[in-house]
Amino acid sequence: MTSFPKIKNLTILGSTGSIGVQTLQVVEKSDGLFNVLYLTTNKNIDLLAEQIAKFNPKGVVITDYGSYLDFKSKYNFQIETYYGEEGLAYVASAEEVDLVVSALVGFSGVVPTISALESGKNVALANKETLVAAGKYISELAKKKSAKIIAIDSEHNAIIQCLLGEEITRVEKIILTASGGPFLNSSPGSLESVKVSEALAHPRWSMGKKISIDSATLMNKGFEVIEAHWLFDLNPEQIQVVIHPESVVHSLVQFVDGSIKAQLGPQDMRIPISFALNYPNRLRYDFPRLDLLSITTLNFYEPNTEKFPCLRMAYDALKLGGNATAILNAANETAVSNFLEGKISFAKIPKCISYALEKVEHNVNPSFDEIIEIDKITRKITQNFIDKLN
Ligand code: MG
């Protein structure tokens, strides 16, 4: 017997970003099963205004104060309007909210995601930096509050689907697939001179800027290893990365009897988003279908960590534990924004990160406040290193 799912009230943190926009597309196609309660943006007030007109939320948050003032003077919506981190914390934990879609970029997603979990909300998580920087704290908090974290990230979403009806103790390892990014076949020497536009041109997925650069360095995959560690409680040795340029197999689980389950699908983030929104149910959607007959070959091979050291550094940081992954995250975020501003070359990104990992003091058991502190310190140290380079 199928029971009718109840209507879920949503807060979408980061509704004007790539995942936020696609989440709203899923909502539109969901036959009224979702009620959009709160939307948030950093600065994109015009797109936010379009979203308000279409989805009629109860309220919005504009993180950037200047943009908040612009919004108030330019538009005249009769809705709750908040700004800043306090606003984000409020809409992430407001009483009527059933599910929080966490789709902010980078470390800015950590605190609002914690507010959601603290008030026992289930979280559809697209912001992997949350688990990279504060995975131990976040996973313990979710357990304590019996709040579910359903990953939107296509690889982890694939793993969740493969694990339906399975015991985690029967998992031998998981295999995360990686497209390899735009420089998969470039010579190591050529990485010094790549342009920002080349690094942003991901061959398979259309994504935001920061994650596109992380995909080009393979740091994104390194983050996903750390994310998987906290989501599925697996050792680093149980998490394998394989390059799979076709991006048809989104990830796989190998069980103790030698059986492997994989999840396949078109490269459309709306599919993992819809799975996360409807979990544990499945709904019918008219997203593109995968035509198996059009696929001639599927390739899998080992990643080259000499050419892409970020992946190796992520494994090392995870094994080191404590605040090492928070340092990794903060140094990466700083290096990537400097690359996007044209201040350092692509090849310097891993150099900045390894510098920070060496320089910032390691702490095996940091409190959450210490993680916030280490994030700030690491950004400063990495920025000083970059300023000296130039
Ligand atoms: Mg991914």
Task: Give me the pLDDT at residue 106, please.
Answer: 85
How confident is the model over 35-88, as pLDDT tens digits?
Answer: 999 999 999 999 999 999 999 999 999 999 999 999 999 999 999 999 999 999
Question: 292-295 — which CB contacts under 8 Å span 24+ positions?
Answer: 295/246, 295/248
For 23, 252, 290, the CA distances from 293, given in Å and listed in that order, are: 29, 21, 9
Task: Give me the pLDDT at residue 3, please.
Answer: 62
**What is d(CA 50, CA 164) in angstroms, rounded to the nearest whole number?**
37
What are the two backbone dihedrals, phi and then psi, of residue 347, each rounded to the nearest 5 degrees?
Answer: -65, -20
**Does residue 113 carry a pLDDT above 80?**
yes
Task: Give me the pLDDT at residue 2, please.
Answer: 55
383 CA to middle of ligand 1, Å? 27
Across 204-208, 261-265, 358-362, least confident range: 204-208
Task: Give me the pLDDT at residue 56, please.
Answer: 98
11 CA to middle of ligand 1, Å? 22
**What is d(CA 103, CA 23) in angstroms, rounded to the nearest whole number?**
9
154 CA to middle of ligand 1, Å? 5
293 CA to middle of ligand 1, Å? 25
Task: Give me the pLDDT at residue 105, please.
Answer: 86
How confident is the model over 185-194, as pLDDT tens digits?
Answer: 999 889 888 9
85 CA to middle of ligand 1, Å? 26
332 CA to middle of ligand 1, Å? 17
- Per-residue confidence band for 206, with pLDDT thresholds at 50, 70 and 90: low
How confident is the model over 292-349, as pLDDT tens digits?
Answer: 999 989 999 999 999 999 999 999 999 999 999 999 999 999 999 999 999 999 999 9
Domains assigned to the chain: 8-151 (3.40.50.720)
187 CA to middle of ligand 1, Å? 24
Helix extents (H) in 129-235: 129-144, 154-163, 196-200, 209-217, 219-232
Task: Give me the pLDDT at residue 289, please.
Answer: 97
How confident is the model over 220-232, as pLDDT tens digits?
Answer: 999 999 999 999 9
Task: Give me the pLDDT at residue 189, please.
Answer: 87
**What is d(CA 146, CA 305) in angstroms, rounded to the nearest whole number?**
38
**Does residue 204 carry a pLDDT above 80?**
no
pTM confidence score: 0.94
**Does residue 253 carry a pLDDT above 90?**
yes
Handedness of CA 245, 249, 251, 254 (dihedral sign): negative
**Tokens 């980078």 sit at which residue?**
106
**Does residue 1 carry a pLDDT above 60?**
no
**Average pLDDT score over residue span 174-195:** 92
Q: Which amino acid, residue 169?
A: T
* Mean pLDDT computed over every residue of the chain: 95
**What is d(CA 292, CA 262) in angstroms, rounded to the nearest whole number?**
14
**Average pLDDT score over residue span 369-379:** 96
**What is d(CA 125, CA 114) in angstroms, rounded to the nearest whole number?**
11
179 CA to middle of ligand 1, Å? 9
| E runs forming strands in 68-190 | 80-83, 99-102, 122-125, 149-151, 171-178
- Per-residue confidence band for 201, with pLDDT thresholds at 50, 70 and 90: confident
1 CA to middle of ligand 1, Å? 34
Structure tokens at 359: 């320089």
Please provide the DSSP assignment of 22-61 as one string. HHHHHHHTSTT-EEEEEEEESS-HHHHHHHHHHH--SEEE
Task: Give me the pLDDT at residue 390, please.
Answer: 82
Task: Give me the pLDDT at residue 343, please.
Answer: 96
285 CA to middle of ligand 1, Å? 21
**What is d(CA 300, CA 105) in angstroms, rounded to the nearest whole number?**
30
215 CA to middle of ligand 1, Å? 9
Handedness of CA 61, 33, 30, 247 (dihedral sign): positive
**What is d(CA 383, CA 377) in angstroms, rounded to the nearest whole number?**
10
Q: What are the residues facing 35 on neighbouring strands?
A: 9
**Average pLDDT score over residue span 27-35:** 97
224 CA to middle of ligand 1, Å? 7
| DSSP classification of residue 14 | T
Question: 28-32 — which CB contacts under 8 Å span 24+ positions?
Answer: 29/274, 29/285, 29/286, 30/274, 30/277, 30/278, 30/283, 31/283, 32/7
C-alpha distance across the termini of the chain, in Å: 66
